[in-house]
A and B are shown apart, each in its own frame.
Chain A
Amino acid sequence: MMPPSTSKRWLPAAGVALVLIAALYGVTLVYAAGETLLAGTMLLISALALWVYSSRRTYAYRYLFPGIAAALIFVVFPMAYTMGIGFTNYSSKNLLKFPRATQYFLDETYQAGGEPLAFTLHADGGGFRARIEEGDAGKAFISGPLALKGTEPLALKLEPAEQVKTTLGDPLPLKDVIAKQPQLKALAFVLPDGRTLRMTGLRQFGPVQRLYEKQADGSLLNQQDGSVLRPNFDSGFYETASGERMQPGFQVGVGWANYTRIFTDKAFQEPFIRIFVWTVVFSALTVLIGSALGMFLAVLFNWDALRFKGVYRVMLFLPYAVPGFISILVFKGLFNNNFGEINLILEALFGIRPAWFSDPTLAKLMLLIVNVWLGYPYMMVICMGLIKAISADLYEASAVAGAGPLTNFFRITLPLILKPLTPLLISAFAFNFNNFVLVALLTGGRPDFLDTSVPAGTTDLLVSYTYRIAFQDSGQQYGLAAAISTVIFVMVAAISLVQMRFTKIARDDRR
């Protein structure tokens, strides 16, 4: 073999250096933006990557690193982070981190003493110029040419009118000023004497000042009325002396408060328990009905006397092959109370029009029907595989003994497939326990309970309830939603433990 040339040896090193520089640049950017945790995570990963790809002892990890890193960052980290958020008050009211919330107050302005100045807008070529007149002093100032296209904040110096070599036409009518108001509001004019003017009316620009000034002890002094805002790190708000909370709040840790709310606050506890019960009932019934139907079909297809099995099998497999989101939405339309085809048929046949989407019981029934329709083919395929593995001798022996099909099923088929099937049934249960897509697309959790103060639906599963708290109608309470997610984590972990136990039993049995 040829010894590797120098360029070949240097190329990887240069590549590593380049990637490293890019990574460090990224980390610095993130850190500068105030996302310390994120920056730390990125730094840690970059350091790990450097170690894995440079050390000789970590050869195997080079193959593992990208995949494991992706799984850790985008699967494990979000889960840990969810648990962390569950201990904070992160919500639409407490969206910002403390420094950013502080900055928000520091950026607020008010109209300071001093008379507002008359303002007129003039056309200038394709753009505009602004003219400010200080009536008392008889002075006028003119801006440079303005495009007035964007709404980004912009500070502009104004020149005394006599120094600007241009003749302005008549002022533009008010309707043109109104049309440009958003763009004008973003402007700050700086006069030669240092005063800063902002738009305070359609015909005037006034001097404005920062409303708050930061004190040494972290409180904010209101320049206008001398009151003081103090940050309260228990409530996550800046508060006035009388305890009034100022928006926006900031994120703080609240300990177990979210959990206390879920389990002891009546407003939450009641819907939570009802939804939990429905979640369990829904998953159990789905698995029970789906697997019973699937198993029955699998037994039928194992019957030699039955013809056209291939055709039936393909047809009955279809629900599994069609993307779930499409079938669920199709059902949503077919079940529609007023112009759904299902009600059309029911009315023609029996003269009834069930309100599938507004009656809680019917809505639950509909969810079950759709979910069994979606889920039985999987059970059918699995059971067909398991039944195929049963030795034909057993059935021959039972036929000799004169056993009927029912005896065959309950004495031979069921006992033999139940053990390997159990772990799959449990994972199907776990899947349906978290069957967010079905509920989100079909009912959205509705109809809602009428007697709860927090919006909660009669068909909501725990996950869709969480989603509603976080992203829909309850004011984006991320912290609370994360706490509920954590509770679901624990439940899923418990289900998984049971499942692993049964998997082990099934595997030991096979040996």
Chain B
Amino acid sequence: MAIVLDKSHRWRVLAAHLFLIVLVLLVIFPFLMILSISLRPGNFAAGSLIPEHISLEHWKLALGLSYTAPDGRLVRPDFPVLLWLWNSVKVAGLTAVITLTLSTTAAYAFARMKFRGRQAALGGLMLMQMFPAVLALVAIYAIFDRLGNVFPAVGIDSHAALLLAYSGGIALHVWTIKGYFDTIPVEIEEAAKVDGATPWQAFRLVLLPMAVPILMVVFLLAFIGAIIEYPVASILLHEEAKLTLAVGSKLFLYDQKYLWGDFAAAAILSGLPITVVFILAQKWMISGLTAGGLKG
């Protein structure tokens, strides 16, 4: 388009850049601050925003190492950050595997089979995910408290309880995967069935290999969803060694015991990998989600 650009246009471009730069600064201010705080000595140090001398004490503590303070004291880590990270990764990884298994099989039935109650079940799933788990916390607590009286392995303060509580959150994923299955021509599976494949074989050996991209997306979505989940984890886990990151990180910032610098290092240590995974998966996610959302 060849449009004559006048002077006001140039001003507008400049203003837009100015606005965006200010906004970007505001948005990334917390990230820069947290980096600077993690590198400056002490938990209360105030004064300059850019640390004058760099100290790795908070990073050592976050990694579970002790360090010797300038006055000769040996400072030990207050919280097992790496253990929490491991707990989070373990719970989230297993949750993602369970979620993927449950939602893929269900999505297969919804996409390829005819049965009574299909539409109702699909609508019910949609409805279900509108009610967040935080509304049922009392019941979730009561259920696992009572279950734990009989089977201590799935009671309060066990990761198994958390896994079970998360395993029900498949509604959105079923829709996503079903939407993707709908885009794969059914003829390929039918050809396999003509060659003597059972429905299970057609599913496992023909359809699943073609659906790997969406399975990756759902795996990552479920993984990240479980890592950042706070409400259910906060009522089911109490023991310090069992906590996940989302619950444990809060302990750094109590008014009585304010470990700002230690928190900063721990936050970067744990937040960075999750953020990188999220950004890498972002492209697939948007395409996967719209594919799931638009098909009815």
B250 part of interface (Cβ distance < 8 Å)? yes
Chain B nearest CB: distance from A269 CB in Å? Answer: 21
- Compute how far the CA of A306 lies from the CA of B13 in the bound complex, rounded to whole angstroms: 6
Q: A79 near B139 (CB under 8 angstroms)? A: yes
B74 part of interface (Cβ distance < 8 Å)? no
Q: A318 near B171 (CB under 8 angstroms)? A: no
A403 part of interface (Cβ distance < 8 Å)? no
Q: B167 near A492 (CB under 8 angstroms)? A: no
Residues of chain A within 8 A of B142, CB atoms compared: 81, 85, 90, 478
Q: Beta-carbon contacts of B30-59 to A below 8 Å, as 1s and 0s? A: 110110010000001010010000000000
- Compute how far the CA of A81 lies from the CA of B138 in the bound complex, rounded to whole angstroms: 9
A60-B115, A329-B249 known; A67+B105 contact, CB < 8 A: yes
- Compute how far the CA of A84 lies from the CA of B143 in the bound complex, rounded to whole angstroms: 12
CB interface residues, A 294-309, toward B, < 8 Å:
297, 300, 303, 305-306, 308
When C-beta atoms are compared, the residue in chain B nearest to A311 turns out to be B24
A321-B279, A323-B227 known; A67+B174 contact, CB < 8 A: yes
Chain B nearest CB: distance from A152 CB in Å? Answer: 15
B150 part of interface (Cβ distance < 8 Å)? yes
Q: A79 near B253 (CB under 8 angstroms)? A: no
When C-beta atoms are compared, the residue in chain A nearest to B167 turns out to be A70
A241 part of interface (Cβ distance < 8 Å)? no
B286 part of interface (Cβ distance < 8 Å)? yes
Q: B49 near A341 (CB under 8 angstroms)? A: yes
A38-B147, A82-B138, A478-B138 known; A341+B33 contact, CB < 8 A: yes
Residues of chain B within 8 A of A29, CB atoms compared: 150-151
Q: B128 near A63 (CB under 8 angstroms)? A: no
A90-B142, A325-B228, A478-B138 known; A67+B28 contact, CB < 8 A: no
Interface centre among B17, B131, B290 (most CB of A within 10 A): B131
Count of CB-CB pairs between chains A and B under 8 Å: 246
Interface centre among A79, A82, A323, A471 (most CB of B within 10 A): A323
Interface centre among B98, B168, B170, B271 (most CB of A within 10 A): B168
When C-beta atoms are compared, the residue in chain B nearest to A463 turns out to be B134
Q: A326 near B271 (CB under 8 angstroms)? A: yes
Q: B137 near A323 (CB under 8 angstroms)? A: no
- Compute how far the CA of A332 lies from the CA of B199 in the bound complex, rounded to whole angstroms: 53
Taking chain A's interface residues, is the majority helix, strand, or loop, or is none over half, making it mixed?
A: helix
- Compute how far the CA of A317 lies from the CA of B128 in the bound complex, rounded to whole angstroms: 29
Q: A67 near B103 (CB under 8 angstroms)? A: yes
A145 part of interface (Cβ distance < 8 Å)? no
A409 part of interface (Cβ distance < 8 Å)? no
- Compute how far the CA of A326 lies from the CA of B203 in the bound complex, rounded to whole angstroms: 40
Q: A70 near B170 (CB under 8 angstroms)? A: yes
> Which segment, of B63-71, B184-192, B208-216, B230-238, faces chain A?
B230-238
Residues of chain A within 8 A of B141, CB atoms compared: 470-471, 478
Chain A nearest CB: distance from B110 CB in Å? Answer: 8
Of B30, B108, B128, the residue contacting A327 (CB under 8 A) is: B30
A78 part of interface (Cβ distance < 8 Å)? yes
Q: B33 near A334 (CB under 8 angstroms)? A: yes
Q: B140 near A78 (CB under 8 angstroms)? A: yes
Chain A nearest CB: distance from B277 CB in Å? Answer: 9
Q: Beta-carbon contacts of A28-62 to B below 8 Å, as 1s and 0s? A: 01100101001000000000000000000001110
B1 part of interface (Cβ distance < 8 Å)? yes
- Compute how far the CA of A78 lies from the CA of B13 in the bound complex, rounded to whole angstroms: 54
CB interface residues, B 174-232, toward A, < 8 Å:
174, 196, 199, 203, 224, 227-228, 230-231
A160 part of interface (Cβ distance < 8 Å)? no
When C-beta atoms are compared, the residue in chain A nearest to B126 turns out to be A500
- Compute how far the CA of A434 lies from the CA of B16 in the bound complex, rounded to whole angstroms: 35
Chain B nearest CB: distance from A284 CB in Å? Answer: 18
Interface centre among B234, B245, B264 (most CB of A within 10 A): B234
CB interface residues, A 466-511, toward B, < 8 Å:
466-467, 470-471, 478, 481-482, 485, 488-489, 492-493, 496, 499, 507
Chain A nearest CB: distance from B124 CB in Å? Answer: 8
- Compute how far the CA of A342 lies from the CA of B127 in the bound complex, rounded to whole angstroms: 41
Q: B138 near A75 (CB under 8 angstroms)? A: no
Taking chain B's interface residues, is the majority helix, strand, or loop, or is none over half, making it mixed?
A: helix
Give how many A residues have a beta carbon under 8 Å from the other chain's beta carbons: 90
Chain A nearest CB: distance from B60 CB in Å? Answer: 20
When C-beta atoms are compared, the residue in chain A nearest to B45 turns out to be A339
A60-B115, A64-B105 known; A485+B271 contact, CB < 8 A: no
Chain A nearest CB: distance from B172 CB in Å? Answer: 11
Q: A318 near B27 (CB under 8 angstroms)? A: yes
- Compute how far the CA of A332 lies from the CA of B44 in the bound complex, rounded to whole angstroms: 14
Chain B nearest CB: distance from A92 CB in Å? Answer: 12
Residues of chain A within 8 A of B140, CB atoms compared: 74, 78
> Which segment, of A14-22, A212-220, A436-444, faces chain B?
A436-444
A306-B17, A316-B24, A325-B228 known; A70+B253 contact, CB < 8 A: no
- Compute how far the CA of A319 lies from the CA of B279 in the bound complex, rounded to whole angstroms: 11
Of A33, A305, A322, the residue contacting B150 (CB under 8 A) is: A33
Q: List residues of chain B with CB under 8 Å of any chain A CB.
A: 1, 3, 5, 9, 12-13, 16-17, 20, 23-24, 27-28, 30-31, 33-34, 37, 44, 46, 49, 98, 101-103, 105-106, 108-110, 113-115, 121, 125, 127-128, 130-143, 146-147, 149-151, 164-171, 174, 196, 199, 203, 224, 227-228, 230-231, 234-235, 245-246, 249-250, 252-253, 258, 260, 263-264, 267, 270-271, 274-275, 278-279, 282, 286, 290, 296
What 20 additional pairs, Cβ within 8 angstroms, besides A84-B139, A339-B46, A499-B130?
A: A63-B113, A66-B106, A67-B170, A70-B102, A72-B168, A74-B166, A74-B167, A308-B17, A315-B24, A317-B279, A318-B27, A329-B249, A329-B253, A330-B34, A333-B37, A333-B253, A344-B46, A440-B230, A470-B141, A489-B131
Q: List residues of chain A with CB under 8 Å of any chain B CB.
A: 1, 26, 29-30, 33, 35, 38, 59-61, 63-64, 66-68, 70-79, 81-82, 84-85, 90, 297, 300, 303, 305-306, 308, 312, 315-319, 321-327, 329-334, 336, 339, 341, 344-345, 373, 381, 385, 396, 399, 405, 427, 430-431, 434, 436-437, 440-441, 463, 466-467, 470-471, 478, 481-482, 485, 488-489, 492-493, 496, 499, 507
Which A-B residue pairs are the 10 nearest by beta carbons?
A: A74-B168, A67-B106, A67-B102, A78-B136, A81-B139, A63-B109, A60-B113, A60-B115, A78-B139, A75-B168
- In the assembled complex, 21 residue pairs joining A and B whose CB atoms fall closer than 8 Å, in A order, are A35-B150, A59-B199, A63-B109, A63-B113, A72-B168, A81-B143, A305-B9, A305-B13, A322-B31, A325-B250, A330-B33, A341-B49, A381-B286, A396-B1, A436-B134, A437-B230, A470-B138, A485-B137, A485-B138, A489-B131, A493-B130
